[in-house]
Structure 1
Amino acid sequence: MSRFPLRAIAAGAASALALSAHAQSSPADPSSSSPSAPSAPSAPSARSSAPAQAAGAKALNAVVVTAKRLDAARNALSPETGSSVYRFDSEDINALPQGENTPLNQVLLQAPGVVQDSFGQLHVRGDHANLQYRINGVIIPEPISGFGQMLDTRFADEIKLITGALPAQYGFRTAGIVDIRTKGAAADEEGQPKAFGGEIGTVFGSHADHELNGYVQGAKGPWSYFLSGSFVENNLGIENPAAGRNAIHDHTDQGKAFGMLSYLINPDSRVSFMFGSADNRFQIPNRPGLSPSFTIDGVVTPPSDQLNANQREKTDFQILSYQNKVSSALDFQVSLFHRTSRVDYNPDPIGDLAYTGVAANLTRKNEAYGVQADGSYVLSPSHTLRSGLFVQRERFAVNNTSSVLPADADGNQTSGVPFSIVDNTSNTGTTLGVYLQDEWKATDKLTVNYGARYDHVNTVVSEQQLSPRLGLTYDLTNVTRLHAGYARYFTPPATEKIDSTSVASFAGTTNALPSDANTAVRSERSDYFDLGVSHQATRNLTLGLDAYYRKVRHLQDEGQFGNALIFSSFNYDQGKIYGLEGTANYRQGSFAAYANLGVSRALAKGVETGQFHFGADELAYIASNWVHLDHDQTVAGSFGTSYTWHGTLLSADALFGSGLRNGFANTSHLGAYFQVNVGAGHAFDAPVIGKFKVRLTVINLFDRNYQLRDGTGIGVGAPQYAPRRSFYVALSKPF
């Protein structure tokens, strides 16, 4: 049973605290079954008698119980002591206006400290992206970032966002851990497991939106599976760069697939295989009314609203895992993974050159493979040791063939005859991380998690760091919990975002870069402090408050430099990020509501790498002044409510932001915005077709016309406006 639309807890201590009642196991909880649960016999044949069918149902139930017990063991590999954890279970997701059709980034925006940006990007606690995604505890190697979503919300049974001072288990991407627990075997209306089930659906609405989606799940003997897929097309693939309701040249086709197969070897071990694929194609939206900056001999420059630039993003991953609960004290999981990712930007060969001075046919490719292992050992009732290893090998390449025009030292065009420059690079790299930590239950009220991890990266740079971690939770009363933590972080640069452009190659052209640069982006090193409290004010109301501070050297940031909509990394010399978050969650009967509000500052000084992205005046200003990061937003809030009335779910959520940074060196900010979304859903039971579900959603109910970006600021490309009021209808048929 769902407790809150969004629950925030200071996690870690295992005492029966009312703040985290949702995490406690009841005596009937299958995950608490004895390790000696019997193995399941094979499923009965179709000729079995009724008693045999009942036995078959019992066998299937035994398999599901065993799987859930292994799920609980797998979850125990990932401690959360001292961190802030925000959970969305399947009921919470369904209570959002779009339900399971909500994009994953829009789900996460309902957590405190999460700020929206253009191209679907998220910023958690003043960091630029830097999110790590896990499925069932296994790291998903990061793809090349664009503006397509790689993961779908529909296969998630629970989504956790873990922030703050993270335990030693978590490394590399540390602004937040997005841990997705997948759906399991299908269940009937009474909650009993069944061999086969699923759902097929469609969504249609504004901007010529049309989507098909579906999934199947089930179990047979020791096997279980979940397979899902979706295809969507519409005419608003990327945010509109103009203020109008409909973007020009903004069609998108996006296909996603996910699958998980699991085999129970015996009651204490299993093998699982996960795979996913995303193939997203985007037209680059046009800005009408622009004037060409350059002329090309023998051609007529097309109007700016008739250009035809496109981008394709493709990612595939495969993960093979083996889990073994060796004893009541020892369990482990080992995973082998592989991921390929590719982004292709195809310019308008005449338009890009005439309007920007370069038409870059650009491809970025990255292939990664490696191993992840995590283990847990209960040394005593007071101490649980955890350790693990992560090793990744990468091959990455950038192919850049650019059409440019000759120019003088001041950038003035000297000829109308274009020529091509080929600027290709490739490299390999290795990332290694190991950790050891101890969760110590010092008293019934106090739990301490201390440890350290060692990380080494050898890509465009060779760097390493030993990082201590400390987190604790203390139950001040049976309704009030304190948590605190310190973490030393080491964040290597994402190889797929490193811009290897040769500055010298473009000298004397219309794409000449303003300065030389160090393109070897450095690893970020920071000290993170976190302090928070959660309080169960009443049986129905939970309150939380959390403060954080981060001091950074070699702060990494990203920007969209040039006409290709691909992000490139660079370093500031110093950074400081701090903030305060408040949360409130209320639930009574069929009514639920939540509210989150965060205040933050993200500042940096001095540019260390990627200097060619900046003008000389901006570099000089940043060298001697603390500047806001482009994604810094002083105030961010999310709010939501849901109510079930005579079987109809009514829901609404809202986002508030004081505006991202803009202007010279991010010295100003955009105006504040407030967007409200509403939805209504109902499940019908018709005579012939049986059960089917209908959901109506209105995005941006009050049709607020606001900018996420205005085209100015550090690393900001074209303007982007938030979507105007849009209507969607979703139909689905469970089976």
Structure 2
Amino acid sequence: MRFARRMMLKAGFMALALALALAPGPADAAGPAPAPENSEDAGTAPITLDTVEVISNELDAARLQIQPSLGASTYNFSPEALQNISQGGNAPLNQVLLQAPGVAQDSFGQVHLRGEHANVQFRINGVQLPEGLSVFGQALQTRFANSMSLLTGALPAQYGFQTAGVLDIQTKTGVTNPGLAYSMYGGGFGWLQPSFEFGGRNGPVDWFFTGDLLHNDRGIENPAASFNAIHDATQQLHGFAYMSGIIDPDTRVSVIGGAFDGKFQIPNNPGQSPSLGLNVNGATGFNSNLLNENQTEATQFGILSLQKHVGDINLQISAFVRNSALSFTPDPLGDLLFNGVAPYARRSNIAGGVQADGSWRVNDSHTLRGGFLGQVERTAYNTTSYVLPVDATGAQTSNQPFGVVDNGGRTGCLYGLYLQDEWRFLPALTLNYGLRFDAVDEYTQESQLSPRVNLVWKPTETTTIHAGYSRYFVPPPFELVSPTTISLLANPTAAPTVLQDSTVKAERSNYFDVGVSQVVIPGLTIGLDSYYKLAKNLIDEGQFGAPIILSAFNYASARIAGAEFTISYDDGPWSAYGNLAYSRAMGVNIVSSQFDFEPDELAYIAQNYIHLDHDQTWTGSAGVAYTFNRGTKYPTKLSVDLLAQSGLRASTPTVPNGASLPAYAVVNASVIQKLDLGVGQGTELRFDVLNVGDAVYEIRDGTGVGVGAPQYGIRRTLLAGLTQRF
């Protein structure tokens, strides 16, 4: 894998050198290159700057034709919509997704789409990124997105592996965002976030770079209802780079790279006392306010793509690599007294592969699409758990802790290929049907051939009805606990009470989706969508133990159903949207990673369907924005957005996940003022208020299947920013 990574980096540098070689050198980036002196040479004239933007836009459109969303439910975030959301480009990606229909908020920055845990696929300019280890640090940032599309429902055949939803990010480029910008943003909770953006073009080459440094005292959700959290500082660094070169009007090569590095203090729950009755080197008590747990996360990714357009054929082939690592450092004394174990844990994962997608417009009625994705990844785990010795009855025999070492690693692969036909058999009716084959060879070896079919009917110019069916195959995440872990921890403190550890299997499901969209008047659109999923070996994840490292497990059977209503309005200075979703997600019988659960919990779930811990009955979001002085040098934009959640699940003494947490609603507000002070290309002031009403709301209460600790949402926070563009 080291050799593969070196080859990927070498290929990226070669592509970058090629792009630079295509640049016309000192030509003025703001004006056209000189025209050829002889008109007979016009056919071989170099690409001029006047045509770069046109060619780039045409190639962008061609790329989107390779992977359309035909038949899926699509929610779009335009550049204006991304700015209207509170914090704008500074907003974490999960906060943006919460404004889409059917997205439930969870702790550690997680979101759940349509009653599923994680299982979200992320793409950058159409290229799928491998899953990483990051839990609450987000390697992908809103800042580098020009626009985003969230696809859910019965997905066409080109989308595999993660199928709860597909977030396709179209990046900013030197064409869409030229110039240099510096920003300073910050406010409450010690928030300080400087950032920059730099985009430009020179002949057929364009580039865009951005980065930010974030520090605040609210890195993770507070486990207490207090305004300020104890021991919750974070420092995060994000970077992103894009460069492309147009070789000819039908060919483009691009290089994308990104990096994230984050340090997080694990916040403390005040007023807690050890309850296990343990003695560690003579100490039996510990103040929970003084716990010192820390976690670091890092991710790097790179993509090298070649796009080709020839007549009615569009092709994009990409090589990608992603490296991620996560380390947890416990409080040596406090973790032993509170939990019976103090684990020093590190996980790492490197994945690389190749993806190719193509489309061929055969005639006016048929467009064929096909492609493949192959991925190899290596996961390594290094854990040293300090525990205390006990006898056969569980009584402590010594107060001297000792270390249990569990190191290992594994290499595995995923691969999939698909073929589908978009058949417009009537002017108003389009059938998109195809097959997809997926296979996984990691901890489990499985494969599946999956049919996909979608029908889209446009009875009028303003009405669109779609219905679809998809067979899904979802491989388990590769960062799993090996069976050797159980035998190593079979006798000391923190030993599992269940010793069974069946291998996590791939999830298989049948998914049905029906929806309608209606343009009521120009600018006003409403939509209604419903879905139903039947799953075998449904994959869920939970936090078990102090390290915030999620572990996967399967429910033998599950059923998920729901409906979504959306409305949006965009006309002149006004824009508004509203979403309301209902969901019900139930599972029965945990059939893998059983050692993570208590015997009575396993016994109940084996015989009864229960709510999944991330199931939320009602989810709502809304927003409105108005621009004053539109079309002038001094526009002022006011925006307000709302998030409403009926509450995730909590356990009762008799029923796992048998209760729902209280409902809550959070309102955020923003003001954006643009100024022309005669400096550079303009100045922008931004003021955001998060949680305007200072609502105290609980996301988790520390109970539930696979739930590790309580978490509360962020309290009222005042933030302000200044951006200067050149």
Q: Deviations over 1:602-648 (max 9, x none)?
A: 00000100111111111111011100000000000001100112321
- Alpha-carbon contact 1:43-1:60 (below 8 Å) kept: no
Query: CA–CA distance in 1 between the matches of 2:208 and 2:141?
Result: 13
Kindly indicate whether residue 366 of structure 2 is the aligned counterpart of residue 383 of structure 1: yes
1:444 is matched with which residue?
Answer: 427
Kindly indicate whether residue 449 of structure 2 is the aligned counterpart of residue 461 of structure 1: no
Query: CA–CA distance in 2 between the matches of 1:689 and 1:411?
Result: 71
Q: 1:117 aligns with which of 101, 106, 114?
A: 106
Q: 2:677 aligns with which of 686, 692, 697?
A: 686
1:667 is matched with which residue?
Answer: 658
- Alpha-carbon contact 1:203-1:212 (below 8 Å) kept: yes
- The Cα shift of 1:41 comes to 8.8
Three-state SS of the structure 2 residue aligned to 1:165 is coil
CA shift in 2, pair 1:285/1:499, >3 Å: farther
Query: CA–CA distance in 2 between the matches of 1:571 and 1:649?
Result: 47
Quick one: which amino acid aligns to residue 78 of structure 2? D
- The Cα shift of 1:687 comes to 4.1
- The Cα shift of 1:354 comes to 1.1
Q: Deviations over 1:514-559 (max 9, x none)?
A: 1022242100000000000001112232110000000000010000
Comparing 179-188 with 620-629, which one deviates more in the overlay?
A: 179-188
Quick one: which amino acid aligns to residue 671 of structure 1? P
Kindly indicate whether residue 636 of structure 2 is the aligned counterpart of residue 648 of structure 1: yes
Query: CA–CA distance in 1 between the matches of 2:434 and 2:30?
Result: 55
1:356 is matched with which residue?
Answer: 339
Quick one: which amino acid aligns to residue 63 of structure 1? V
Three-state SS of the structure 1 residue aligned to 2:553 is strand
1:95-494 equivalences in 2 (<5 Å): 95-186=84-175, 197-292=179-274, 293=276, 294-299=278-283, 301-325=285-309, 327-409=310-392, 411-494=394-477
Quick one: which amino acid aligns to residue 317 of structure 1? F
Query: CA–CA distance in 1 between the matches of 2:669 and 2:298?
Result: 32
Q: What CA RMSD, in Å, does the superposition of the two structures yield over aligned residues?
A: 2.1
2:18 is matched with which residue?
Answer: none
Query: CA–CA distance in 2 between the matches of 1:500 and 1:310?
Result: 26
- The Cα shift of 1:589 comes to 2.4
Q: Deviations over 1:627-678 (max 9, x none)?
A: 0000000000001100112321000101111100001410111000010000
CA shift in 2, pair 1:51/1:164, >3 Å: closer
Three-state SS of the structure 2 residue aligned to 1:354 is helix
Quick one: which amino acid aligns to residue 314 of structure 1? A
- Alpha-carbon contact 1:186-1:198 (below 8 Å) kept: no
Query: CA–CA distance in 2 between the matches of 1:321 and 1:559?
Result: 35
Unaligned runs of 5+ in 1: 1-39, 189-195
Quick one: which amino acid aligns to residue 657 of structure 1? Q
- Alpha-carbon contact 2:181-2:723 (below 8 Å) kept: yes
- Alpha-carbon contact 1:498-1:521 (below 8 Å) kept: no
Three-state SS of the structure 2 residue aligned to 1:424 is strand
- The Cα shift of 1:103 comes to 1.3
Three-state SS of the structure 1 residue aligned to 2:500 is coil
- Alpha-carbon contact 2:29-2:201 (below 8 Å) kept: no
TM-score normalised by L of structure 2:
0.92
Unaligned runs of 5+ in 2: 1-21, 38-44, 630-634
Query: CA–CA distance in 1 between the matches of 2:290 and 2:119?
Result: 36
Q: What percentage of residue pairs aligned between the two structures are identical?
A: 47
- Alpha-carbon contact 1:44-1:53 (below 8 Å) kept: no
Query: CA–CA distance in 1 between the matches of 2:193 and 2:311?
Result: 46
Query: CA–CA distance in 1 between the matches of 2:98 and 2:488?
Result: 42
Q: Deviations over 1:675-734 (max 9, x none)?
A: 000011101112456621111100000011010000000000110000011110011111
Quick one: which amino acid aligns to residue 530 of structure 1? D
1:724 is matched with which residue?
Answer: 715
2:75 is matched with which residue?
Answer: 86
- Alpha-carbon contact 1:639-1:654 (below 8 Å) kept: yes
- The Cα shift of 1:185 comes to 2.1
TM-score normalised by L of structure 1:
0.91
CA shift in 2, pair 1:499/1:79, >3 Å: farther
Quick one: which amino acid aligns to residue 242 of structure 2? M
CA shift in 2, pair 1:299/1:674, >3 Å: same
- The Cα shift of 1:406 comes to 1.6
Quick one: which amino acid aligns to residue 718 of structure 2? F
Quick one: which amino acid aligns to residue 723 of structure 1? I
Query: CA–CA distance in 2 between the matches of 1:729 and 1:51?
Result: 42
- Alpha-carbon contact 1:551-1:576 (below 8 Å) kept: yes
Q: 1:712 aligns with which of 690, 703, 714?
A: 703
CA shift in 2, pair 1:536/1:187, >3 Å: closer
Three-state SS of the structure 2 residue aligned to 1:119 is helix
Comparing 234-243 with 661-670, which one deviates more in the overlay?
A: 661-670
1:31 is matched with which residue?
Answer: none
CA shift in 2, pair 1:685/1:525, >3 Å: same
Number of residues of Structure 1 aligned to a counterpart in Structure 2 = 688
- The Cα shift of 1:187 comes to 6.2
- The Cα shift of 1:353 comes to 0.9
Query: CA–CA distance in 2 between the matches of 1:456 and 1:481?
Result: 35
